[in-house]
Amino acid sequence: MRKLAVTAALTLAVLVLLGGVARATEVGYSRTIGVGAMFGDPTGLTAKFWTGNTNAIDLGVGFYGYGFRGGCYRDRPDHEVCDRRYANGRLSLNADYLWESKLIQGGAAQLDWHIGAGGRVFFIGEPCAYDCWNAGFRMPLGLDLTFARPSFLELFLEIAPVMYVVPGLFLSLEGGFGVRAYF
């Protein structure tokens, strides 16, 4: 959580230092498709598709269980496992619908915030007897920093509480930071 606060403070400091003549970023306007990488929980690839001036669809695929620790899984009826690492192929997929709004528009950069609703599923892999996957609802909340130069770049920071509902009920806090290039 401390790393998240430091990253947010650094993002705001960069925005202040980039002050000058206001210029619009191309991200979300003339450039509507972005691809990149996310680091945290999950760590993997991300894509964002703008559907309007204030709405986007965010997709992610990656490894789950690297950052924040959340719920557990059972590899057999009487054994609960809570130590998450890359081992055993924990694949994660997520999809979210985002609502975006401008927070600060400065000289050469623009800081937006977003909130969304979506879902996540992750597959635990072998060895496990049952419950080798979990699915749930998530609500991402984050900051997006875009630039006039380079006009194709977006840096983002996000946290997302997730309520896993299938096959068991548990709450997890996920999040991370990343970068996307738009075309």
At 72-120, the pLDDT tens digits run 666 666 666 665 443 445 788 999 999 999 888 877 888 999 999 999 9
For residue range 127-175, list pLDDT tens digits in order. 665 667 889 999 999 999 998 888 889 999 999 999 999 888 889 898 9
Global pTM value: 0.73
| pLDDT band of 121, cuts 50, 70, 90 | very high
Going along the chain from its start, the domains and CATH numbers come out as 2-182 (2.40.160.20)
| Residue 122 confidence (pLDDT) | 83
| Residue 68 confidence (pLDDT) | 43
* Nearest Cα to Cα of residue 175 among 162, 164, 163: 162
| Residue 152 confidence (pLDDT) | 87
| Residue 82 confidence (pLDDT) | 60
* Nearest Cα to Cα of residue 91 among 57, 132, 50, 141: 132
DSSP letter at 3 equals: H
Cα 38–43–44 angle (5° rounding)? Answer: 70
- 120 Cβ contact partners less than 8 Å away, ≥ 6 residues apart: 92, 93, 94, 135, 136, 138, 162, 164, 174
What average pLDDT does this structure show over 46-75? 78
